[in-house]
Amino acid sequence: MSVDLSGATIAFDLDGTLVDSAPDLHRALNQVMAAEGLPPVTLEDMRRFIGQGARVLIMRASAAHGIVHDDTKLDRLTEEFTAVYALDIAAHTRPFPGVEAALDKLTRLGATLSVCTNKRTDLSIQLLDAVRLSHWFAAIVGADTVGRRKPHPDNFLTAVRLAGGNPAHAVMVGDSAADVGTARAAGAPVAIVSFGYTDTAPELLGADAVFGHFDELPDLAVRLLKSDQPTPLR
């Protein structure tokens, strides 16, 4: 197969897809939980709770102990968590194996890259700067930029358009049901990593493809863009 991605845009999820950020999220969450007198969350549970932003992360972690916070307290805990997390955002966070080589190859093949995440945009930029990946991306779009969270299609569509791309020639790469949902809502193909943060087995998420290493992604992206797909939203 001829590998050519000229004019294509690849939109990546961040946490659990490009970077293994669970250790730092885990550290910050347990600091907040301890301040509330709650037992720590395990790293395994933490990986299942990630995906809908800091507020939902705290809700899920608290619910695991049978606790439901009102909106005012959730706002306060979210602010505390964000402050603790941002102080040392990448102490233990690292890109997954093969990420940078794959980003380099995708770019050389003509693709434009963007990030489409439910993480706040400023934190996403800070994190990508810290792990030296931000220069690969023409746009970094968090849920706050759009005003909606994945799986709403605007997250994907905005990430593609701000990168100068065409949603009709774009692929979503992620790790969760939210990533599959945003791609489906936008009428775009989607590939899921097999090692991300999800409480559902990756092969059951309904993606067009599941891959286990980033060296598979360039050929996979070409294959997905050549296959028959629903017409993306404009």
Sign of CA dihedral 128, 129, 133, 135: positive
> Shortest CA distance to 48 belongs to which of 80, 18, 25?
25
User: Cβ contacts of residue 83 below 8 Å, gap of 6+?
Assistant: none
Closest CA to 120 of 151, 94, 85, 68: 85
Strand partners, 12: 115, 173
Query: Annotated catalytic residue: which of 13, 15, 154, 175?
Result: 13
Report strand pairing: 19-20 vs 112-116. unpaired
13 included as an active-site residue: yes
Specify whether the CB–CB gap between 208 and 196 falls below 8 A: no
Strands 139-141 and 19-20: what pairing? unpaired
Kindly list the catalytic residues.
13
